[in-house]
Amino acid sequence: MSTSASRRRRLPLTAGAGIAAVALVLAGCSGSPEGTATPDEPVELRMTVWTADETQLGLFQEIADEYVAENPDLVSKVTFEPIPFDDYTTTLTTQLAGGNAPDLGWILESYAPEFVSSGALYDITGTLQDHEGYEYDDLLDSSLALWQQDDKLFAYPFSNSPFAVFVNTDQIAAAGQPNPADLVASGDWTFDAARDISAASAATSGKQGLVVRDFDYKVWENLATIWSSFGASPWSEDGASCTLTDPEMVDAMTWIHDAIFVDGAMPEPGVTADFFAGDAAMTITQISRASALDDSFGWDVVPLPDGPEGRQNVIGQAGIGVFANAENPSVAADFLAYFTAPENAEKLAAYFPPPRESLLNAETLAAGNPRLSEEQLQAVVVDGIQDAVTKPAHPNFAKIQDTVRAQLDALWTADADVESVLGSTCETIAPLLEG
């Protein structure tokens, strides 16, 4: 599993503007893009990615070269273009709007509705279903949901990385606290238990307790790993109404606020703590971060705790889409079918948890994750993908993301009125949700 596929940081507001421009560019041609016929001579394909990992890129190229060898009359070359993560969506949308569209590209889950609704993506449903040996029915419905519209699939969710809790067992033992793995076994692993253990461990070690990695009081959507188990969400299922003032969200954000300012269980604003450097007792992050662990302290990884509504698994997704205004979308879709067919999906599973039910087993995933036991992989990855939700996504997410972040700044003080701040945030984002 790849750390590069799991990083989530705030992207510039200009990304939304770029996607809006794409919608205008494609308005007249998204229904029947050029290049749907087989080209007269072999073409070159280009895929944008945000990983610079040479091992991953090497695997991609190996699969691509095999495709070229099997289809010399169709494709002469496939190249993979790494774009730095922080600039990825802005750079990609600039290429799309400027007539320099790649044939395929990675897409972050939060921006999936923007890409799907804009017409920027080519319908890949039939190509995947008709590809010999593809086994389309093996794809989990829950994994596909974010990338579908009107029963059509517009991107393949190649990475489905569950969020979990990494635990510094040395710090917890030194504080005389119960081991979270034992609480999981007994059915007592809850967010309240995680809060209490984290607070006690922080008081003993002088370090930090529970860190929601990459939140840093900016990437508020990462708090979905907590509020989802309260039955909360920031907006309605159709994306039209703000639900930040619903009792479930008020309870969840009050829990988070008190864990920070009352219990001392989570870092306060301005405090940086890296769990993997030994600075915290626990961290909530994606399972792919396991590669950052070493033997400097004892550690374990357990599923997300239960909240008032039980456990809600949460995943971060990334999709591969074919761009409708590229020169040869039908050829690119054929390559995507080959790239993600069962045999190659199994190879990619070494880095990216696949959406294929047949490959979601501890034995397959263990091949690429030597630091995790099959028991850990079963509990956190295999079981963690089942019935999971993704972090918040919306057709206008780029603008909403920054607006919510700015509004929530008022929440991160000791004397904040949680319900009032959430109410003000709802009023501010209501026009963005509607439009």
pTM of the model: 0.81
Check whether residue 60 and residue 123 sit in a common domain.
Answer: yes
Total domain count, the chain: 2
Asked whether residue 131 is assigned to any structural domain, the reply reads yes
Check whether residue 150 and residue 191 sit in a common domain.
Answer: no
Per DSSP, what are the bridge partners of residue 153?
Answer: 148
Burial class of residue 110 in the structure, from the number of CB atoms within 10 Å of its CB (0-12 exposed, 13-18 middle, 19+ buried): buried
Asked whether residue 120 is assigned to any structural domain, the reply reads yes
Asked whether residue 70 is assigned to any structural domain, the reply reads yes
Check whether residue 169 and residue 299 sit in a common domain.
Answer: yes
Asked whether residue 193 is assigned to any structural domain, the reply reads yes
Check whether residue 186 and residue 274 sit in a common domain.
Answer: yes
Check whether residue 337 and residue 225 sit in a common domain.
Answer: no
Asked whether residue 336 is assigned to any structural domain, the reply reads yes
Check whether residue 187 and residue 114 sit in a common domain.
Answer: no
Check whether residue 172 and residue 270 sit in a common domain.
Answer: yes
- The angle at the Cα of 16, spanning 15 to 18, to the nearest 5 degrees, equals 65
Asked whether residue 72 is assigned to any structural domain, the reply reads yes
Q: Three-class SS of residue 166?
A: strand
Burial class of residue 367 in the structure, from the number of CB atoms within 10 Å of its CB (0-12 exposed, 13-18 middle, 19+ buried): exposed
Asked whether residue 400 is assigned to any structural domain, the reply reads no
Check whether residue 282 and residue 184 sit in a common domain.
Answer: yes
Tens of pLDDT along the chain (435 residues)?
A: 433 333 332 233 333 444 444 333 333 334 444 445 677 899 999 999 999 989 999 999 999 999 999 999 999 999 999 999 888 999 999 999 888 999 999 999 989 998 998 899 999 999 999 999 999 999 998 889 999 999 999 999 999 989 999 999 999 999 999 999 999 999 999 999 999 999 999 999 999 999 999 899 999 999 999 999 999 999 999 999 999 999 999 999 999 999 999 999 999 999 999 999 999 999 999 887 887 888 899 999 999 999 999 999 998 899 999 999 999 999 999 999 999 999 999 999 888 889 999 998 888 888 777 778 889 889 888 888 878 888 898 989 888 999 999 999 999 999 999 999 999 999 999 999 986
Check whether residue 173 and residue 244 sit in a common domain.
Answer: yes
Q: What is the CATH number of the domain that holds 191?
A: 3.40.190.10
Check whether residue 153 and residue 45 sit in a common domain.
Answer: yes
Structural domain for 290, as ranges: 163-314
Whole-angstrom Cα distance, residue 122 to residue 101? 12
Check whether residue 182 and residue 260 sit in a common domain.
Answer: yes
- Domain-terminating residue out of 269, 293, 314: 314
Whole-angstrom Cα distance, residue 81 to residue 57? 9
Residue 414's nearest CA partner among 259, 213, 200 is 259
Check whether residue 55 and residue 97 sit in a common domain.
Answer: yes
Asked whether residue 308 is assigned to any structural domain, the reply reads yes
Residue 315's nearest CA partner among 140, 175, 173 is 140
